[in-house]
Structure 1
Amino acid sequence: MSHRKEIKQEAVARVKDERAAKRARRDELKAMTPDERTAAKAADRTAARDAKKASKDERAEVRATMNRAERRALKRRERVYRKVKHRPRRAVGWGVTAAAGVGIVVLAAPYVGGLSRVASLTFTDDTAEAAAAREAALDVAESISDEGMVLLKNDGDALPLDGGVNVFSFASFNLRLGGGGSGGTSVAGAPTLFEALEGQGIAYNEDLYATMQEAGAQHTEGSSNFLVQIAEMATGAAGTAEPAPDYLTDDVMAQAAEFSDTAIVVLGASGGEGSDLSPDQLRLTAEERALLDTVTAAQDDVIVVVNSGNQMELGFLDEYPEITAAVWMGTPGPQGAVSLAKVLSGEVNPSGRLTDTYAYDVTSAPGVENMGDHDYTNVGRSFLEYEEGIYVGYRYYETRYADDEAGYLDTVQFPFGHGLGYTDFAWDVAEPVLADEKVTVDVTVTNTGDVAGKDVVQVYFSAPYTDGGIEKSAIELAGYAKTAELAPGASETVTVEFAVQDMASWDTEAGRYVLEAGDYEISARLDVHTPVASSTTTVANDVAYDVDPDTGVAYESRFDYVEGDLTYLSRADWEGTYPTAPDGTEAASDEVLALMDPVIEPAEGDAPAYGADNGLVLADLAGLDYDDPAWDAFLDQLTLDEQIELFSYGAYKTAEVERLGVPSITMLDSPAGLNSLFSAIDAAAYPTEIVVASTWNDELAYALGESVGREASAYGVEVWYAPGMNLHRTALGGRDFEYFSEDPLVSGKMAAAVVSGSQDQGVPTTIKHFVLNDQEVNARSGINVFASEQALRELYLQPFEIAVKEADAAGAMSSFINLGGSWAGGNEDLLQGVLRGEWGFEGFVSTDAVLGSWMDPQLAALGGNDVMLAVFPSATVKATAAAAEADPVGMGHALRDRVHALLFTVAKTHAVG
């Protein structure tokens, strides 16, 4: 019996025993009286908690005695066990939801009014202005995909190509140009890889092409419909799996060898909204490995193209000496094949850099331990624990292996920031200058090679760490800059500047940022692991930052209930604090249950004024400050019913108040180009955000926002639901393609550039999903997410803070998730305390799609969420009216504030003026 089969059988037996025990206990409980049953359940919960703690301690002790191989074997057994345990649940879930989505017209019969409202959206996409905007968008998309390609490996200068090439793999017929779901767009008609190769004058083996066609390979175009894409992802129907390479007979391979000794093999993975990926989906299949075995046996130089928006396990690149080059193309949008061909031919010198760490084993990231489907035993709610704390991506790997280079090289294949090119650069790094609370680093970059190219300068800092003190990554990105294209021999000096406070750490106990005394290393690097030059500056005494430097609002720790009763990963004790997966016995505490079902007491005082006649229309307020007194006079004119409608009708099309000149505005997804869920629109597509970020070029990110803004203006679209700003917490996130990076600084800078580009065209954006929406499993059922406040502040909130402060983001979209047990869309600490208070945000906040009862409109209104994205708003209107009747003072003032924020943004759009 194989070892793998033995492990699986062991897991199956274990799960069967557990289920049998649960059934037996259920039978025992049924036989009890009600009072006995209540007492027994309470005793069971206490025993389960005690057992969990004892088991955790015991596992830690056992693991401490194991060597590396034994720990890996144990982790593998636990992974298989969890997979077997949760398989029945995974077989349904979003598969059923997506199928229901496809049939939404049938299910929505009672709500036909709401559905017809959003289905009636029309766009001016057939004008000369619209056509010109789409044409210009193609150039923007191609510029981004040109610079977003990352050359991972190029042994012996295998690239650029100098002759014809054999193209293998069914995946080469259908490149993954985007992701699935609301973050996807239509790329129908995009050039194929073979067309792009022809366009670059690269001859490909047409006989081999015909052989693959005869074996079943074909060019297809996936659906552009959001709901169908989700269904395809959930049911595994998206894309075409690589078959066994039986069709590559000896004769076929002999003909290929005669045609060329160079081959291209495309391999990839698909992500999409609604489901996450399993580790196996990010590894070679048996068929793909067989394909590589066949190709490498007959070809001297094999070039692998990695076509995935998620980090794949790429250790196989090291296993085959014949694989001499590898290019990561991500999910690069409509011109992706063209950009790839230009990189292969040498017309484009690749200058992209990875925005994630590529580990040999994707499950080596500590966040993977808790990822997945975990439910409470005492309430119908799922939960997710970010026990890894701040140690996400390179922050984990660079810190965990800071003093173990051999271990690092055994674990990390391609570091964060890695990327090669076809020329060489030399850097002259000046000493950092510290002045006016800023750090400035000048780097003169000289092209010392033979071809023109661009380079990326990355600057990092390393802060002092005290064992057992505030957690700190061994290194953090402080800033970056990309050169212009430099001809051979040409030079350019780039400047990277960042605030001294950026090197401070969040002290949860003190409720502020602290720059601790000690030595700080500032280094210019090719990637996070490859220094070019470094220097050290010493901070003599601790420096406390008690207030936000931009708003002057005092910091405070606000999220103790989000931290929960968890042990977070600490570099002081890697083994003892390493995350452990839930064991299925977890119950929600009384505190969490109270957060999930808050008691709202009616407010005392006077209700606001309604229905005044002050002679104002919304256009009169365009351009006024948020706190201008004219706003009070205008808001006094609205009736309660009008305010409820403005608050409730937030799905793609807002409510109109004709008598006050309040227009209805249209709001559309997605970060990769405008799309419409229920109605047709002819709009351009763009590379996904991970490719945008991989350019490390803020100007290109701005160009994307600018281009979409011009399109939106041409089509009559006022607000763009973008950009996506959650983090790549692990490689398994279904929407990682739709987000920029594992790093909050890169994510924030790229997002700020996109926001500025769009808003400079008069099209507000909504930065999303605010916050902790980093996993797809259970995200749409109100999952409770727990994280340390330090991780919240330093990682997950930081991209949004950058976008608000540097780009004056006009809108935000709150997430489905619950912080601890408190819904993000009704969380006053998040929306009022941090977003509007500390950061000074003056825009509007929309919910994500209203899908469940936890997305309570009363909580939203009181907590600072301005509009409900309710496709079927009748229930929201009814619930909001009932809440206003029960609490006329509290809800009255809350609705007035919500409408104020919404209309302040509406007044900035093209619909007013």
Structure 2
Amino acid sequence: MATRREIKSEAVARVDAERAARRERKAELEAMTPEDRKVAKAEDKQRAKDAEKAAKAERKERRSTMTRGERREDKRRERVYRKVSHRPRRAVGWGVTGVAVVAIGALAAPWVSDLTRLTSMEFDTETAEGVAARENAAVVSENVADEGIVLLKNEDAVLPLAEPRINVFSFESFNLRLGGGGSGGSNLSTAPTLYEAMDQVGVEYNSELYATMEDAGAESVSGSSNGFVQIVGSLVGGDESAEPEPDYLTDDVLAQAQEFSDTAMIVVGNDGVEGSDMTAEQLRLVDNQIALLDVVTEHFDDVVVVVNSGNQMELGFLDEYPQIKSALWIGTPGPQGAVSLAKVLNGDVNPSGHLTDTYAYDVTSAPSTETFGDFTYDNADRGFLNYNEGIYVGYRYYETRYVDDEAGYDAAVQYPFGHGLSYTDFTWDAADPVVTDEEISVDVDVTNDGDVAGKDVVQVYFSAPYTPGGIEKSAIELAGYAKTSMLEPGDSETVTVTFDTRDMASWDSENGGGYLLEAGDYVISVSNDVHDAVAEFTTEVGEDVRYDTDADTGESLENRFEYAEGDLTYLSRDDWEGTYPDADDMDFTASDEVLERMDPTIEPAEGEAPTTGADNGLMFADLEGLDYDDPAWDLFLDQLTLDEQIQIFSQGAYLTAEVERLGVPSAVLLDSPAGLNSLFSSIEAASYPTEIVIASTWNDDLAYAVGESVGTEANAYDVQGWYAPGMNLHRSAFGGRDFEYYSEDPVISGQMAAGMVNGAQDQGVLTFIKHFALNDQEVNARTGLNVFVDEQAFREVYLQPFEIAVKDSDPTGAMSSFINIGGSWAGGNEQLLQEVLRGEWGFDGVVSTDAVLGGWMDPALAVRNGNDLMLAPFAHTTIDATEEAYDEDPVGVGEGLRDRVHTALYAVLSTSATD
């Protein structure tokens, strides 16, 4: 089997040859007459199409005779080739858009005006309230990092350290990745380094080894980069680890280290940044890291590895070196993450985090990775993505694929979803579940039988009966969870996990939609993780139960996204091999129906346009305390001119439009889930662990504390809204913003989001749950991306976290995504925003777009179909487009504008902007 370096070298040589051929052909074309050149280009284009078609057929034929391992290596070669050949395209999106916009802004007055408006925001962060808010935030951040660290393995009880002395190897240790980059990042410039943190908590590190690494080039750098700069840097930068060859570790250096301590520690990790995704290579150790492991394990029998990544890495090396006794996952743990890590090392903190993703030995073994990446149509300037894996995302795949094959499971999965160890031992006594038609409740007595205090996590799962050829079902699904309080040795606590009986039902696409709880035996598992049950109970459902209406709103449930399914084969547990996704089977030609959804024809509405510019003597403050449907709102809305309505709708980015004559104030809306952040203005704000670490605490109270802390700080800075939390899923390990999202599982994602939303909104701050929906990949997202998914997977996996958050926290806002669902943009999608979000779920808040970066984010669609604010940093183009749409359809756009402005102003009225 070829090495990574050999495969990459082959790809580079192949791409170089192709580029040389293109340059040669370009010279030949330039030497032709214009008429001949035109004919030659047409012939070249046809030859290229024919060649690609032939190559595709040849690849398919070749792979049909290969073993699975040979097919995987062949596909790996193609992925590496595509990555190398498409590398220049990584700058498409934020990078090109940002550079182009800034360049144009320097020349054109409208662009300058828009940019000046955004950069004019100023924040007084040095008030007593602001200082106190940041001090409290530091405590909250440290509490989250304490509970979010996951103990992956701990043979021979190497941790906590028997003596607080340790050799720290690796250049990576000088710059822990405490957060992600982009709008989801935060200011980490004042965060202590790992070495400063160890000094702080009393863990002695080998200062001579530290000096040796410094002399070899290791250095700590500030984490204060602007989010926009981080995005652009990720798009055009490299992806290699900072680790050099370990030749600086001479025999003398290693002898001194052995004398200093018997224990060594190595940090490995990678960066996630908005705008670009990971590759499999980035989730594996590079050669220099492997060389470092070789050297360290040769000289030390007790080695600790710290995994510092917001994405699932391949960690098989933890099993390959017997000297690696302990491993800690710290994710991207925020400004106090280094302190929390140091406290875990010396035993001041007993780790109680659990993974929220499955860690497979091979990240490409997940079926979702087969169709993850850069795919664009031949007949349209847009990317597309097929979710052929259906519901089988994360553990839903591994637990189902290997349900009767424990050896196969052990070979595929290293650490299951929910895995996490402790420095103490717990025993559980689970009572029989109490089952009714409405809910299921499980009591579990948890006792600390060990020697140190600690917290434990009780996870409850269900397994539904499956009929081959019937509705697809995961072999097991998370139903709920609970975390204990701190239990001293010998102490016990009873925790209760409750969930709705209908949560075990499955979406029934074949019969028009709605949920079906099929008759049969259901297994309720009380578990340490998704794969290891402590107790199991069986409950019988005597007959099919159909749920055709929403449990909370009573609205009808039906298929609404059949058009998004496309002409695809979806993975089925009834035929794993025959339905397994294959990128070679993708159709790169958009159908006529898809092309029409990408550019829909809108018939003008009949009737009279709404009243504008009336004089009814009302000011905005007169609406204070009135219901949304109060008649006074109609009188007030009549007073707004058309221009004012278009400005309110179009200027929704970070600083909403003011209407001074009517007393309508601006509201300030800022990113990010890891702390208040502005891409355009300077703000000194607190930072928090990223959402993956928050979720890894499995502690809803800590999620609430984060939201509460952000809300308190927002009030101190006169900030009214928060673009958070991020709620998309870890469809694969490759997602560039996986650090910014909670999990591969919708239940823990929804519950954690609800906690954060409740915390912030209890402080009167608008929250925007995002990105609604299917924004699970960065590549092509900002240049238009059509996603195809079957409705069952859409409902049960990708929409469920949003549904949980809407119903458990009543968020005041939502942010629609860049994504085109089956070709129909989410921000102008009637089924998504009006029928499901506002209809089925009863959401009554304000909807904003994500940053308006492309023509597919059409304000004419948004205004008609329920998207209230356009997050357009350069709003004059959206204003122009909305004016044009109004001229073409004054009734339809006029009525839509009135509804959009009504919703947006109702939200603003609930904030401190009116104080």
> Is TM (by shorter chain) over 0.5?
yes
Q: Structure 1: which amino acid aligns with 2:841? A: W
CA–CA separation in structure 1 for the residues paired with 2:2 and 2:772: 46
SS across alignment from 1:797? helix
2:75 matches 1:73: no
Q: Structure 2: which amino acid aligns with 1:315? A: G
SS across alignment from 1:263? strand
In structure 2, what is the equivalent of residue 464 of structure 1? 465
2:109 matches 1:108: no
CA–CA separation in structure 1 for the residues paired with 2:380 and 2:225: 38
Q: Structure 2: which amino acid aligns with 1:113? A: S
Q: Structure 2: which amino acid aligns with 1:322? A: Q
SS across alignment from 1:702? helix
In structure 2, what is the equivalent of residue 501 of structure 1? 502
Q: Structure 1: which amino acid aligns with 2:519? A: A
CA–CA separation in structure 1 for the residues paired with 2:197 and 2:405: 44
Contact 1:48 1:585 in 2 (8 A): no
Alignment gaps of 5+ in structure 2: none
In structure 2, what is the equivalent of residue 643 of structure 1? 645
Q: How many residues align?
A: 905
2:218 matches 1:195: no
Contact 1:8 1:81 in 2 (8 A): no
Contact 2:241 2:286 in 1 (8 A): no
1:169-568 residue pairs with structure 2 within 5 A?
169-236=170-237, 241-510=242-511, 511-568=513-570
Q: What are the superposed Cα offsets for residues 802-850 of structure 1, whole Å, 9 maximum, x if unpaired?
A: 1111100110111111001111110111010110010111111111111
Q: What are the superposed Cα offsets for residues 479-522 of structure 1, whole Å, 9 maximum, x if unpaired?
A: 00000001111111111000011000011122111111111000
CA–CA separation in structure 1 for the residues paired with 2:502 and 2:2: 55
Following superposition, the deviation at residue 35 of structure 1 comes to 14
Q: What are the superposed Cα offsets for residues 558-598 of structure 1, whole Å, 9 maximum, x if unpaired?
A: 11111100001000011110111147861110010000110
Q: Structure 1: which amino acid aligns with 2:552? A: D
CA–CA separation in structure 1 for the residues paired with 2:420 and 2:860: 49
Following superposition, the deviation at residue 2 of structure 1 comes to 5.7
Following superposition, the deviation at residue 607 of structure 1 comes to 1.4
CA–CA separation in structure 2 for the residues paired with 1:97 and 1:865: 22
Contact 1:814 1:824 in 2 (8 A): yes
Contact 1:673 1:686 in 2 (8 A): yes
In structure 2, what is the equivalent of residue 808 of structure 1? 810
Following superposition, the deviation at residue 89 of structure 1 comes to 2.2
2:135 matches 1:153: no
Contact 1:376 1:584 in 2 (8 A): no
In structure 1, what is the equivalent of residue 821 of structure 2? 819
Match of 1:707 among 706, 709, 713: 709
Contact 1:857 1:868 in 2 (8 A): yes
Compared CA separation, residues 556 and 487, structure 1 to 2 (3 A): same
Contact 2:571 2:579 in 1 (8 A): yes
CA–CA separation in structure 2 for the residues paired with 1:184 and 1:123: 18
CA–CA separation in structure 1 for the residues paired with 2:148 and 2:419: 12
In structure 2, what is the equivalent of residue 861 of structure 1? 863
Q: Structure 1: which amino acid aligns with 2:98? A: G
Q: What are the superposed Cα offsets for residues 838-895 of structure 1, whole Å, 9 maximum, x if unpaired?
A: 0111111111111111111101101111011111111111111111121111001000
Contact 2:93 2:780 in 1 (8 A): no
Compared CA separation, residues 99 and 302, structure 1 to 2 (3 A): farther
CA–CA separation in structure 1 for the residues paired with 2:240 and 2:502: 46
1:822-833 residue pairs with structure 2 within 5 A?
822-833=824-835
In structure 1, what is the equivalent of residue 127 of structure 2? 127
In structure 1, what is the equivalent of residue 610 of structure 2? 608
Contact 1:102 1:228 in 2 (8 A): no
1:498-897 residue pairs with structure 2 within 5 A?
498-510=499-511, 511-582=513-584, 586-897=588-899
Following superposition, the deviation at residue 22 of structure 1 comes to 15
SS across alignment from 1:756? helix
Q: Structure 1: which amino acid aligns with 2:561? A: F
SS across alignment from 2:258? helix
Q: Structure 2: which amino acid aligns with 1:133? A: A
Compared CA separation, residues 815 and 535, structure 1 to 2 (3 A): same
CA–CA separation in structure 1 for the residues paired with 2:308 and 2:419: 17
2:90 matches 1:93: yes
CA–CA separation in structure 2 for the residues paired with 1:10 and 1:199: 49
2:84 matches 1:82: no
Contact 1:452 1:485 in 2 (8 A): yes
CA–CA separation in structure 2 for the residues paired with 1:833 and 1:867: 18
SS across alignment from 2:583? coil
Q: Structure 2: which amino acid aligns with 1:161? A: L
Compared CA separation, residues 800 and 55, structure 1 to 2 (3 A): farther
Compared CA separation, residues 832 and 79, structure 1 to 2 (3 A): same
CA–CA separation in structure 1 for the residues paired with 2:819 and 2:387: 13
Following superposition, the deviation at residue 657 of structure 1 comes to 1.3
Q: Structure 1: which amino acid aligns with 2:882? A: T
Following superposition, the deviation at residue 201 of structure 1 comes to 1.4
Overall identity of the aligned pairs, in %: 65
Contact 2:90 2:236 in 1 (8 A): no
Contact 1:102 1:227 in 2 (8 A): no
SS across alignment from 1:480? strand
Compared CA separation, residues 117 and 181, structure 1 to 2 (3 A): same
Following superposition, the deviation at residue 40 of structure 1 comes to 13
CA–CA separation in structure 1 for the residues paired with 2:317 and 2:468: 38
CA–CA separation in structure 2 for the residues paired with 1:875 and 1:95: 20
Compared CA separation, residues 4 and 213, structure 1 to 2 (3 A): closer
In structure 2, what is the equivalent of residue 903 of structure 1? 905
Following superposition, the deviation at residue 57 of structure 1 comes to 8.3
TM-score norm. by structure 1 comes to 0.95
Following superposition, the deviation at residue 619 of structure 1 comes to 2.7
CA–CA separation in structure 1 for the residues paired with 2:879 and 2:395: 46
Contact 1:781 1:852 in 2 (8 A): yes
Contact 1:351 1:419 in 2 (8 A): yes
Following superposition, the deviation at residue 100 of structure 1 comes to 6.3
CA–CA separation in structure 2 for the residues paired with 1:677 and 1:517: 53
Q: Structure 1: which amino acid aligns with 2:84? A: R
Q: What are the superposed Cα offsets for residues 63-114 of structure 1, whole Å, 9 maximum, x if unpaired?
A: 7xx6xxx212211212212331452322233278537636854342221000
Following superposition, the deviation at residue 615 of structure 1 comes to 2.9
CA–CA separation in structure 1 for the residues paired with 2:37 and 2:642: 51
Compared CA separation, residues 858 and 525, structure 1 to 2 (3 A): same
Following superposition, the deviation at residue 624 of structure 1 comes to 3.0
In structure 2, what is the equivalent of residue 142 of structure 1? 142
Moved more, 14-23 or 828-837: 14-23
Compared CA separation, residues 634 and 422, structure 1 to 2 (3 A): same
Q: Structure 1: which amino acid aligns with 2:538? A: T
Moved more, 623-632 or 728-737: 623-632
Q: Structure 1: which amino acid aligns with 2:374? A: D
Contact 1:370 1:581 in 2 (8 A): yes
Contact 1:7 1:77 in 2 (8 A): no
Following superposition, the deviation at residue 44 of structure 1 comes to 11
Following superposition, the deviation at residue 754 of structure 1 comes to 0.3
CA–CA separation in structure 2 for the residues paired with 1:18 and 1:226: 36
Contact 2:735 2:778 in 1 (8 A): yes
TM-score norm. by structure 2 comes to 0.94
Compared CA separation, residues 447 and 49, structure 1 to 2 (3 A): same
Q: What are the superposed Cα offsets for residues 351-400 of structure 1, whole Å, 9 maximum, x if unpaired?
A: 00000000001111111111111111111111111111110000000001
